[in-house]
Amino acid sequence: MKKSLAKRLVSILVIRQKLIKDLTQEIGMHKNEASEIVDFALQLTDKFPHNYQQLKSEIKAYIVINMLSLVTKFHN
């Protein structure tokens, strides 16, 4: 039981770091901003997604939606 929990925690940490790296490269975010968004996204999930690409896609969609919301807010 302890080994499986430890493996799960290590895998989450590795995925977190890869997500941060990918977001900084693909979107051009600062590392600490990407870190905050990834941490927030991981806190919101009840269960961990089965697919890394699905998780990354959902985080990028969240970022785009928020950016559009800010643009329209300041445009009016």
What is the per-residue pLDDT across 14-58, written as a single tens digit (0 to 9) for each?
999 999 999 999 988 899 999 999 998 888 777 766 788 988 888
End-to-end CA distance of the chain: 55
Could you say which DSSP state residue 51 is in? -
Q: What is the pLDDT of residue 8?
A: 82
Which letter, b or e, does each residue of 56-75 get, where b requires 16 or more Cβ atoms within 10 Å of its Cβ? beebbeebeeeeeeeeeeee
What are the extents of the domains in the chain? 2-75
* 51-to-10, 23, 70 alpha-carbon distances in Å: 16, 16, 29
